[in-house]
Structure 1
Amino acid sequence: MAFFETFGKLVQDLKLKKRLFKKRIFKGKSRKKFYQINPTENFEIPKSLECTFPLRSSNEYKSEVEKHCLEWAMQFGLVTKEEAIKRFKSAKYGLFGCYVYPNAPFDRLCLVTDFMIWLFLLDDQIDNKHDLIDKPEKLKRILDGFLLVIDSDHCPDSAKCPIAVALWDLWSKMKCITGKAWQQRFRTSLANYFSSYYTHSQNCVSKKAHKSIDDYVELRRNTGAVQVTFNFVEITLNIELPDDVYSDPNFQCLMNYCNDHACFINDIYSLRKELLVNDTDNLIFVLKNLSNYSLQEAVNDAVKLSNLRVTQIRENISKLPDFGPEMNKTVKMYFEGLEDWLAGSFYWHQISGRYAVEDNATRKYMESYLEPILTHN
């Protein structure tokens, strides 16, 4: 009897060691694949990718908004070079604004679209320049400087970098049409965006891989700056949510699902560009790493996760608490605004030139259209 007990324990011990050994081998392989990306590996976006929210934009202001946005960017020296202007136009930023805020009056539509352009241009500066993304402390000093602009009561000195002066222009206009609660929430979301980029930069330097999908999603909810732009729904609809509604757990859960969907869509459509510049901070690369997938398998799973978020958004709408008759109407308007945002972003990604790159593009090419907007004049 003692022999069988001893033999049984030995077999169980060997099985455990075998599982641990396989786990170590698997993790080692996946980490290697994660950092050794093949930029020529083919993939297709499955036709099953969906966003069932309707695209409600009539494009009434499309040409006017496009014209205004380019003029605004050139006014502050954010876009001056021929190559940069060409890329700016191909991105169709004005159309993006019309798509995601279809019910906005013209003046507010221009304002919020300008701010989204500010975020896009800052994102380009960080992602496509080695001397920023690979230098976390330098990046942090720049981003902290933008928060000082938000906290200031006056316009930065004209000798400051162009993008800081442009930020003040936007923020001073927004303060005129918003209340203190909205302004504080906006500042918090912007600070979270800056902080997440600093963390992302640290991860790039240390080659730190995400431990799980949840780990990636938690950071991505801020690096995408989606929450920053969700704040603009209130501006464009001329509503303002009180803090007790905004902080409700069910409300926040639903917002997170909306945020995730927007970021997942961006990860899918920006994949080719990120392959070419070896930027691995993307849902698809995380899936590839964690599950030892081929690139196509990872894309397929990313599409499934994106579609799942649409289902979860629809299911969780009914779980919102009763905020009272009038506030319920406001909350309904807000989430209809978020649905417009998701639908608009989904369709814009399919036609924008922002993520279209040549097959032989490199980071050097990606830097060629960048303006010196983070430096002093």
Structure 2
Amino acid sequence: MATTVTSMIAHPDSEPKVFILPDLVSNCHYPLRMNPHCYPVSRASNKWLIDELRLVEPRSTQIIGFRVGEFSAACYSNTDAFRLRVYSDYMGWLFAMDDWLEQTDVDQILRMRQCCISAFRDPINFETEKFGRKLCRSYFSRFRETGGPGCTERFIHTMDLYLRAVAKEVDNHAKGCILDLESFIALRRETICVKPSLAFIEYAAQIDLPTEVVSHPNITAMENAVIDYAACSNDIFSYNVEQCRRYNHNIIICIMHEQGLDLQGAMEYAGQLCKDAIQRFEANRADLPSLGKEIDEQVAIYVEGLQDWIVSSLHWSFDTNRYFGNDGHIVKQDRIVKVLPKMPL
């Protein structure tokens, strides 16, 4: 379906003062596990990021409030402290970079992409004085110490897709584009940046799946279901902050525009998309064929890692300060969100 270019939606003065989140928690029955190395790794990773980026208050406290270490520990509950620290460092870097990317232009993003890919390809010899690039080199040089060739290449390739997609997102926002739903979902599968984390499932479990296994239709369908769930639920939770900043790359805005729904109706529609994603995940898991005993055991580990990503991203969204400040536990219980006023133009 072709991309639709329109002006930004202007919400009327009669916009509701509150909206109700869809009940995603009741629809997700997977167990939430926590890595026993969570808190020492989280503290060390936060210190690394704050020191390396030379962050000061209030940004340093904000970074700690992201609770990236706890999210990492829930996603990879069975890995060792070394590998958990690599992922936690990566996620801290990613969130810091994500905030920067939304405030920059396409040319700067593409220059960042070139530097990052160079650092991934040769993290030992890559030289840079840019803080963000140095962090990129730091965590990925440790990844390559034990990461298999398959998952290493998958991480680099999917990070490349992510950075290219973010450049497109920023360009769309600058032009005031609102995509049709099909086009939005295709782009959002890249900008949510979950695909690189799926390579970390292999890294954390010390497996390296053959290409023909990773490209199996059922595996691909399960991955897309996880990505769609993470992207759609993230847009539900981040909508309030993003509409406040007048940022339009959000599925809620896309649904309101295409389906002619009000805010609450769009929230319910998006909630059903999340429910559908879990159903797709389970249907494809049930339909997985046997690929041989050794491969089946590795696939089972990988699929459990995909499941952990769904439940971890859901519960972390209420624990972090990124979406609901310090009120996440209250919002998780009553699902009521007060609409933030829009920032001045």
Same fold (TM over 0.5): yes
> Counterparts of 1:335 and 1:156 in 2: how far apart (Å)?
34
Matches within 5 A, 1:1-377: 31=6, 34-37=8-11, 41=16, 42-47=18-23, 50-58=26-34, 60-77=36-53, 80-127=55-102, 129=103, 132=104, 135-152=105-122, 154-157=124-127, 160-211=129-180, 213-356=181-324, 359=340, 362=343
Question: Does the 8 Å contact 2:123/2:137 carry over to 1?
Answer: no
> Counterparts of 1:172 and 1:97 in 2: how far apart (Å)?
19
SS in 2 for 1:43: strand
Question: Does the 8 Å contact 1:220/1:263 carry over to 2?
Answer: yes
Greater length-normalized contact order (CA 8 Å, ≥ 6 residues apart): 1
Question: Does the 8 Å contact 2:235/2:250 carry over to 1?
Answer: yes
Shift of 1:141: 1.7
Shift of 1:357: 5.2
**Structure 1 runs, 4 residues or longer, greater than 6 Å off:** none
| Backbone CA RMSD of aligned residues | 2.3
1:91-138 deviation line (CA, Å, top 9, x unaligned): 1111111111111211111111111111111111112x2xx1xx2223
Shift of 1:325: 1.6
> Counterparts of 1:275 and 1:154 in 2: how far apart (Å)?
41
Number of residue pairs matched by the alignment: 327
Structure 1 residues 111 and 221: alpha-carbon distance in aligned structure 2, compared to 1, 3 A threshold: same
Shift of 1:38: 6.0
TM-score (norm. length: structure 1): 0.81
> Counterparts of 1:101 and 1:37 in 2: how far apart (Å)?
41
Aligned partner letter, 2:136: L
Residue number in structure 2 paired with 1:24: none
Structure 1 residues 217 and 327: alpha-carbon distance in aligned structure 2, compared to 1, 3 A threshold: same
SS in 1 for 2:55: coil
Question: Does the 8 Å contact 1:196/1:222 carry over to 2?
Answer: yes
Aligned partner letter, 2:171: Q
1:22-63 deviation line (CA, Å, top 9, x unaligned): xxxxx99xx56x532469643110336545242332453332
Structure 2: give runs of 5+ residues left out of the alignment: 327-339
> Counterparts of 1:202 and 1:224 in 2: how far apart (Å)?
16
Structure 1: give runs of 5+ residues left out of the alignment: 1-26, 365-377
Larger C-alpha radius of gyration, 1 or 2? 1
> Counterparts of 1:38 and 1:353 in 2: how far apart (Å)?
28
Aligned partner letter, 1:138: Q
Structure 1 residues 361 and 172: alpha-carbon distance in aligned structure 2, compared to 1, 3 A threshold: farther
Shift of 1:156: 3.9
Residue number in structure 2 paired with 1:3: none
TM-score (norm. length: structure 2): 0.88
> Counterparts of 2:160 and 2:344 in 1: how far apart (Å)?
27
SS in 2 for 1:82: coil
1:139-173 deviation line (CA, Å, top 9, x unaligned): 21222221122223534435x21010010011111
